Structure 1
Amino acid sequence: MFLETGIYTVKACFVNDYGIKSDVVSNTYKIDVLIPAPPEVSVYSGDYYEPYSIEAQAAEDCRIYYTTDGTVPTEDSTVYTSAIPMPLGESVYKFVAISEEGVASDVTARSYNLTLNTEITVDVAISNVIYALINADVLLDTEGKMRGMNGRNVYKFNSVIRIGENGDYYVIYEYYEDATGIQTRTERIYGVNVQDGTACRITYNEQGQIVLVDI
């Protein structure tokens, strides 16, 4: 039973197997619930023309949850674990901090509209990855067919990120689609430069830093 801050009077009695009741015992309690501070979100609402990572912070004894569908986050919502790439177009994020006792903070809401100033669209970026893989003799055609495989590779846009001094990149995930149409994500990730459309592999070094590799 969770009680909000306030003064409560609780009355109780015991009933035995014969239906005989004991005297009623009454006690008054003062509940003072500590409400966590709302999460601090690094990027304010607004229009953006380059990608940013959305970071949220809360007290150490709290876990942060968030939603992107406009609903108020609860413990059943997505757990915030690391910075979130700002999505293309319009998006709404709502964050809440929930303490170990299950007490929720006020909601921190952010609204974004990310528009990139480039002629390289998401569809163009995916096509550039496919053609680069065809030129590298990894794929046989634009349908994603490969030698000796019954299925095909499918490429899907994931996010836009800034990779240090290399600039902004579309992040493209690779999926293998079997003969029944079931898609399974592979370990390969590709990046396409937002400004010039150059496609490359995205890998990570031992320190967890992104390393771009030619296809």
Structure 2
Amino acid sequence: MICPNCGSECDENQMFCTKCGTKINSFENDIVTTPPDNTFENILGGISSKEPESTNLNKKDYAREHESTKSESKSAPAQEKIKQHKESREVKKVNSKAVYQSTGNVSNNMKTKKSKKSSKEKIAIIAVVAIVLVTASVFVTLAIKESTMTKKYNRYYSIGNKYYTEKNYKDAKTQFINASNNAFTKEQKIKAYEMVYTIDEIIGGYDQEEIKYLELLIDTDDTNINYYEDLIVLYQNNDMENKIQPLINSAPSNLQEKLKNFDGTIPVAGVDEGTYDKPLEISLEAEEGVKIYYTIDGSNPKESSTKKEYITPVKLEEEGTFTLRAYSIDKNGKSSKEMTAKYILDFKKVDAPQVEPQSGNYTSEQKISVTVPEGCKVYYTTDGTMPTKDSKVYKKEIKIPKGNNVYYFVAIDDEGVISNVVTRAYNYQPTKISYDEAVNSLANSLVSSGKLENSDGTFKNGDVAYFNYEKTIEINKQDYYIITCDIETSKGGRKSSETYAVSCENGTSSKAVGSGDSYSLSSDNGENTTTEE
């Protein structure tokens, strides 16, 4: 009960407010009982309680007859008449009494029935009046209570908001709890409960209290799925998983399917732990808005230097045993419970590719040839990294460039199983041919192409070809002699002039196209072997 004067909480049985002394209760009876009004009942009954009229008439008759018999007492006949009169009077008396008793019984029965009916009507009227009075009293009391509690609620909530804005969370929480204790409407309760829960989240370390207020929120509003999801997270992180399914079952049917698919903040691995014969890519999922950190070496992800933030799926590409440990952190810095999963990778075997030539030092040009295992592709690298499916695919022989070169080769089948790595290291330092050897090689090449008749440069018609050294230059990481071939007529006139690049390593020649001091190779009118690097 609320005191109408000061708004203090009072016991329902108190007569006076203990704070201000105002009278708040009354022990007087609301209904005053009065003696029954028999007149009303008699009127309804229609019968008087007086002696019947017929009896009075009989008495008068008797008096007159008595006087008559007195005057005749001296004569015998008179005596006889008196005797007869007495007998007649007795008969009438009996008849009169019977009539009176019969009439009285009817009157009493009617009177009783009318009295009972009237009593029931009075009780019904009194009950209706009592109900109306009680109902009115309840409404008035509730109105007073609502007004008083709302006034207190607004005051506490306003002060709490002020502290919350100032980030004085401890005092803000106290005020919001006071507001919740004075909340009268559903909306008031929800607002106060939400603020207490929010502050507990910010402060941290109040999981049990957060659980309490989320349960209160769900009891007040069971349509807000966020309350259920936050409570599931707290159940997960406090070893209360046995409460999750009953919570989901108690939710409205339109929320249950979504809640069944809700993972919470504990990371969930997309691949079940176990033994696998091929590489794995493991996704980690948690509710939106959290960051996930993990390790795969079994170390504590909250402390280990090997921990990584989850951005893309975790790749396990080598054979061995891996222990994946992960946890998440929400926007308030609260850590989730940790998940752990163990994976054993024991791959089925794929034959390694066969690579020729073997590693070594070479002075002559070499080409790498690879035998590819059936059902596989061979990938290779030259930058020192291990090859993957994203590396270069071996398609044809590879020409080894000058200098030190290291190649890594692997075979990968359709299921992603990787063979052992094959490594080859080559040091190719070619021995240069002499200029004369280069000229002879060029002359023979021109004879083969039909530009010269003889390797010594002579023609039957007297024309003569002359070779002139221009320079030695590096083109595409190889050294070349740049040689000009001029053909003169028998009369001494110039017939043609062309420039060639002859490899210092193997004597192959190509037509050279000059641009200032630099040259490039052309495949026209000469040999030019195109190889993959």
Partner of 1:24: none
Q: How has the CA–CA distance of structure 1 residues 126 and 31 changed in structure 2, closer, same or farther, with 3 Å as cutoff?
A: same
Question: Percent of counterpart pairs with the same letter?
Answer: 29
Larger Rg: 2
Cα deviation per residue 1:145-168 (whole Å; 9 max; x = unaligned)? Answer: xxxxxxxxxx9x9xx7xxxxxxx3
User: Cα distance, 1:127 vs. partner?
Assistant: 2.6
Work out whether 1:202 is the aligned partner of 2:528: yes
Alignment pair present for 1:108 and 2:348? no
CA offsets per residue over residues 107-161 of structure 1, 9 Å max, x none? 1111111112215666351633xx459x95567xx9xxxxxxxxxxxx9x9xx7x
**Alignment match, 2:259:** 19
Find the partner of 1:125 among 480, 483, 502. 480
User: How do residues 57-136 of structure 1 correspond to structure 2 at under 5 angstroms?
Assistant: 57-119=371-433, 123=474, 125=480, 127-128=482-483, 131=484
Q: How does 1:35-74 map to 2 (within 5 A)?
A: 35-74=349-388
Mapped partners of 2:386, 2:511: distance in 1: 30
Corresponding letter in the other structure for 1:17: E
Seen in structure 2, the aligned counterparts of structure 1 residues 54 and 18 have a Cα distance that, compared at 3 Å, is: closer
Query: Which structure has the higher relative contact order (CA within 8 Å, separation 6+)?
Result: 1
Give the Cα–Cα distance (whole angstroms) in 2 for the partners of residues 92 and 175 of structure 1: 33
Structure 1 alignment gaps of length 5 or more: 1-14, 22-26, 143-154, 161-167, 178-184, 191-198, 205-215
Q: TM-score, normalised by structure 1?
A: 0.51
1:189 aligns with 2:503: no
Question: How many residues align structurally?
Answer: 145
- Distance apart, 1:171 and its partner CA: 7.5
TM-score by length of 2: 0.23
Asked if 2 retains the 8 angstrom alpha-carbon contact of 1:126 and 1:172, the reply is no
Counterpart in the other structure of 1:34: 348
Q: Which amino acid aligns with 1:202?
A: N
For residue 9 of structure 1, what is the aligned residue in structure 2? none
Unaligned runs of 5+ in 2: 1-254, 262-271, 278-346, 435-471, 487-494
CA separation in 2, counterparts of 1:85 and 1:36? 26
Could you say which structure has the higher helix fraction? Answer: 2
- 1:179-213 Cα distance to aligned partner (Å, 9 max, x none): xxxxxx99x437xxxxxxxx933379xxxxxxxxx
SS of the equivalent of 2:482 reads helix
Contact 2:433 2:507 in 1 (8 A): no
Match for 1:116: what amino acid?
P
- Kept in 2, the 8 Å contact 1:41–1:57? The answer is yes
CA distance in 2, matches of 1:110, 1:175: 36
| Cα distance in structure 2, aligned partners of 1:203 and 1:53 | 13
Structure 1 residues 68, 81: closer, same or farther in 2, change over 3 A?
same
After superposition, the CA RMSD in angstroms is 4.2
Contact 1:52–1:85 (Cα < 8 Å) also in 2:
yes
Consecutive aligned runs of 4 or more in structure 1 exceeding 2 Å deviation: 15-18, 27-33, 119-124, 135-139, 168-177, 199-204
User: Take 1:113 and 1:202, find their aligned partners in 2: how far apart are those partners?
Assistant: 24
Q: Call closer, same or farther: CA 1:53–1:127 in 2, change over 3 Å.
A: same
